[in-house]
């Protein structure tokens, strides 16, 4: 299996999109080599705007572009996009429902060595609480690519989260077609549902292999649209399996686990066990060390399933 960081796929897809959609503009806050918008910049320098280290300005400038009919992609690290840019995103992008795609990279703890100050594990929660905001978290490079195109097609604000670390391919050489609001059931099963997002989809698939070998029937769902949540697919899983394990590189408060809990709490009360970050900040280390440390591996998913069988 090959690997690629979703941020790399984001930058490549942006350039590809730029070739067919001349209304696309890209805004950046001094991280173009890291966010990979430099790939777009090298091909379309006239449509790439760097506002410097100024994330509030980044978001509101993107809003200005959108009022004139442009499809504006605004990129920086997730921490600074969702954190520092929150009010600009809420009031100047989402409140007037402008066509801005907030596409941060370096989400989650796998950012690694920069440490807890740079590891955004609250961004999906913040963005999900903004009325009308679409929140996307791709499982791999191919899904990222398709999301960039889907986001550009969609008329309104979108938050498209990508990561720094290389991510195993899930969808390469498949006929998968991403659609906003649709979760993808990667594997059917009857005992337990593992609902995962982002790079943890790969861990979920690995966990399913181990569990199946031990006779446990596992359903795996890639929930790559955190909002709007795919209610029918989640409800079906709750009805057809005994419990649900959610997996995300994000706080267990307000992200995927939170979204599924909120939904099923009202529709079909179900036992939900969450893998994610439990009310704490991250720390320095390699991305892989941190995924181990915070229990976001296939073996952790296996253990969580077995504990609750």
Partner 1 sequence: MADIKMLTEKATQIRKDIVTMICKSKSGHPGGSLSAADIVSALYFNEMNVDPKNPKMADRDRFVLSKGHAAPVLYAALAEKGYFDRELLGTLRKFGSPLQGHPDMKKLPGVDISTGSLGQGLSVANGMALSAKLDDKSYRVYALLGDGEVQEGQVWEAAMTAAHYNLDNVCAFLDSNNLQIDGNVDKVMGVEPLDEKWRAFGWNVIVIDGHNFEEILGALEAAKAHKGQPTMVIAKTTKGKGISFMENVCGFHGVAPTSEETDKALEELSHVECCNN
* Least spacing, CB of residue 131 vs partner 1, in Å: 12
Q: By CB under 8 A, is residue 67 in contact with partner 1?
A: yes
Q: By CB under 8 A, is residue 68 in contact with partner 1?
A: yes
* Least spacing, CB of residue 70 vs partner 1, in Å: 6
Q: Which is nearer to partner 1, 21 or 190 (CB)?
A: 21
Q: Which is nearer to partner 1, 28 or 230 (CB)?
A: 28
List, as one string, the DSSP characters of 116-153: GGG-BSSHHHHHHTSTT-EEE--SSHHHHHHHHHHHHH
Q: Which is nearer to partner 1, 67 or 190 (CB)?
A: 67
Name the nearest CA neighbour of 78 among 136, 129, 24, 38.
136
228: preceding bond cis by omega (within 30 degrees):
yes
| Residue with the two structure tokens 């280390």 | 285
Q: Which is nearer to partner 1, 9 or 25 (CB)?
A: 25
The pair of three-digit structure tokens given for residue 267, joined into one six-digit string: 């529709």
Per-residue interface string for the shown chain with partner 1, residues 91-120, x marking contact by CB under 8 A = xx--xxx-----------------------
- With contacts defined by CB under 8 A, name the span among 43-51, 240-248, 254-262, 292-300 that binds partner 1: 43-51
For residues 17-36, which are near partner 1 according to CB under 8 A? 25
* Least spacing, CB of residue 155 vs partner 1, in Å: 13
CA 244 to chain CA centroid, nearest Å: 20
Q: By CB under 8 A, is residue 131 in contact with partner 1?
A: no
Q: By CB under 8 A, is residue 63 in contact with partner 1?
A: yes
CB-CB contact of 119 with 281 (8 Å): yes
112-116, long-range: CB < 8 A, 24+ apart: 112/164, 112/165, 112/284, 112/285, 112/286, 112/287, 112/289, 112/290, 113/284, 113/285, 113/286, 114/284, 115/282, 115/283, 115/284, 116/281, 116/282, 116/283, 116/284
* Least spacing, CB of residue 133 vs partner 1, in Å: 15
Question: β-strand 100-102 against 134-136: which pairing, if any?
Answer: unpaired
Write down the catalytic residue from 28, 43, 46, 55. Answer: 55
Q: Is 55 a catalytic residue?
A: yes
Among 51, 165, 205, 247, binds partner 1 (CB under 8 A): 51
Among 16, 34, 56, 242, binds partner 1 (CB under 8 A): 56
User: Where on the chain is the footprint of partner 1 (CB under 8 A)?
Assistant: 25, 46-47, 49, 51-52, 54, 56-57, 59-70, 72, 87-88, 91-92, 95-97
Q: Annotated catalytic sites, by residue? A: 55
């Amino acid at each position: 299996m090959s690997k690629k960081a979703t941020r790399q796929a984001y930058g490549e897809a942006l350039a590809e999109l730029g070739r067919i959609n001349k209304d696309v503009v890209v805004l950046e806050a001094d991280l173009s080599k890291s966010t990979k918008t430099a790939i777009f910049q090298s091909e379309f320098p006239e449509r790439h705007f760097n506002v410097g280290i100024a994330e509030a300005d980044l978001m509101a400038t993107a809003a200005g572009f959108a009022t004139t009919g442009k499809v504006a992609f605004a990129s920086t690290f997730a921490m600074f996009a969702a954190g520092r840019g929150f009010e600009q995103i809420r009031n100047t992008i989402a409140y007037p429902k402008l066509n801005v795609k907030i596409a941060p990279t370096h989400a989650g703890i796998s950012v690694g060595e920069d440490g807890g100050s740079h590891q955004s594990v609250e961004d999906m929660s913040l963005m999900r609480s903004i009325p009308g905001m679409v929140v996307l978290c791709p499982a791999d490079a191919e899904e990222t690519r398709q999301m960039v195109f889907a986001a550009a097609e969609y008329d309104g604000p979108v938050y498209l989260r990508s990561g720094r670390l290389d991510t195993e391919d899930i969808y390469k050489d498949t006929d998968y077609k991403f659609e906003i609001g649709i979760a993808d059931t990667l594997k059917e099963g009857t005992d337990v549902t593992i609902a995962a997002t982002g790079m943890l989809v790969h861990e979920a698939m690995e966990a399913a292999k181990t569990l199946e070998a031990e006779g446990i029937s596992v359903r795996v769902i890639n929930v790559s649209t955190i909002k709007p949540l795919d209610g029918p697919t989640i409800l079906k899983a709750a009805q057809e399996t005994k419990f649900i394990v959610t997996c995300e590189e994000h706080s267990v408060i307000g992200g995927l686990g939170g979204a599924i809990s909120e939904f099923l709490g009202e529709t079909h009360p179900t036992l939900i066990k969450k893998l994610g970050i439990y009310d704490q900040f991250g720390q320095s280390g390699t991305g892989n060390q941190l995924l181990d440390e915070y229990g976001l591996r296939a073996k952790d998913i296996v253990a969580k399933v077995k504990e609750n069988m």
